[in-house]
A and B are shown apart, each in its own frame.
Chain A
């Protein structure tokens, strides 16, 4: 059996030549992870659209994919930049419709017991934006602080402290 990464390289090369069938295969292999990333980073309402935007952007840029990194990693970078760009555009709207529900003490402002058993993904979605982005990128996706700092335009120190903040908040969801 051919490993997925080899299939990816082949299909990426074909897609760069304009083969949309090859690109659809790449889409099928990666859509779940990209959609999960979009949902956790930006929330469920925008996840479908952001996933589509990410793949359209990837198609437009695929000629720039040189095959040095795995296609999956490259696609991730593209998706993250699409998602973060979207976040910046919608920032005002989101702050209005989803006010922070967590207080500064690192605990939910309401009864801790009500959080028990809460779906972990839901808890991630409810984190303050910056802590959520850092947590998803670091603990879910495995990026390093210096990489996250570059993506989010923050310092590595801020990335570390936001990660800690997110983890502390998420303890509340542990049953």
Chain B
């Protein structure tokens, strides 16, 4: 039987995967003997499954590690410090993107946790992404001896290519925005406004407390997020 109401045709994958009950399986096998279309389909389905099992995974065309390394350095303090707090290592050394080395001490992170409560902007929180809520609980003894601390000052990052990269991406976006649908443009603009607000807040807070580790890290992370967002959106305009 080869008519359009051939319900066995829909069961062929289950048959192939040996997922049919015994009784159904023998019924289907009986049907197969008389139905050429199902027999052919079954052969093709087997080939599809065999191909799926032989797919080869080529590595990505570009090395994705450097950006991952950068991002995990950024989240390192936030996500895992509570597990390392109290060990002999009071500080954790981080290498900056431009080869600078900087260190956050445990007491500073405790201070940062307090600052965080003061910052308390839910929006800023969301954008900061990689920081865990647990960070807000200062489980770290503040009395511990402070380690030698070299802070990466956000202002130094600003002196790098950041501003010009932002400006360039904004130009690309202005030229290409017609190619984006209005919902996307609106979303991006909303996000950018939130990020800019967070950057402003962080800069203001830093001017009052320039050596605050958390604020420095937070500002750098927020600036990076702005770059990422602009880059991704600019890429969309090229589709």
State the A residues within 8 Å of B (CB): 18, 20, 23-24, 27-28, 31-33, 35-36, 40, 45, 47-49, 51-52, 55-56, 59-60, 63, 92-93, 96-97, 120-121, 135, 139-140, 160-161, 163-164, 167-168, 170-171, 174
Contacts and interface: CB of A to CB of B under 8 A. Distances in A.
Interface residues of B, number: 43
B30 interface: no
Interface in B180-239: 181, 183-184, 232, 235, 239
A50 to B, nearest CB: 10
Contacts of A45: 235, 239
Contact of B45 (A24, A63, A167): A167
B160 to A, nearest CB: 22
Interface string B28-47: 00000000000001001101
Interface centre among B69, B75, B184 (most CB of A within 10 A): B69
B19 interface: yes
A56 to B, nearest CB: 5
Given A18-B76, A56-B75, A120-B55, A51 B60 contact: yes
Contacts of A20: 69, 72-73, 76
B55 A56 contact: no
Interface stretch (B6-14, B148-156, B170-178): B6-14
Nearest to A139: B52
Contacts of A121: 55
A167 B49 contact: yes
B80 to A, nearest CB: 6
Nearest to B236: A93
Nearest to B235: A45
A164 B67 CA distance: 39
B84 interface: yes
A120 B79 contact: no
Interface in B59-80: 59-60, 62, 64-65, 67-69, 71-73, 75-76, 79-80
B156 to A, nearest CB: 23
A139 B48 CA distance: 9
B51 interface: yes
A171 B45 contact: yes
A23 B67 CA distance: 13
A28 B80 CA distance: 23
B118 interface: no
7 contacts: A18-B84, A28-B65, A45-B235, A45-B239, A52-B68, A55-B68, A168-B45
A164 B183 contact: no
Interface string B66-109: 01110111011001100110000000100000000000000000
B55 A59 contact: no
A161 B235 CA distance: 36
B65 A24 contact: yes
B122 interface: no
Interface in B97-132: 130, 132
A167 B71 contact: no
A145 to B, nearest CB: 8
A63 B58 CA distance: 29
A151 B49 CA distance: 21
A139 B59 contact: no
A171 B41 contact: yes
Contact of B48 (A33, A49, A55, A174): A174
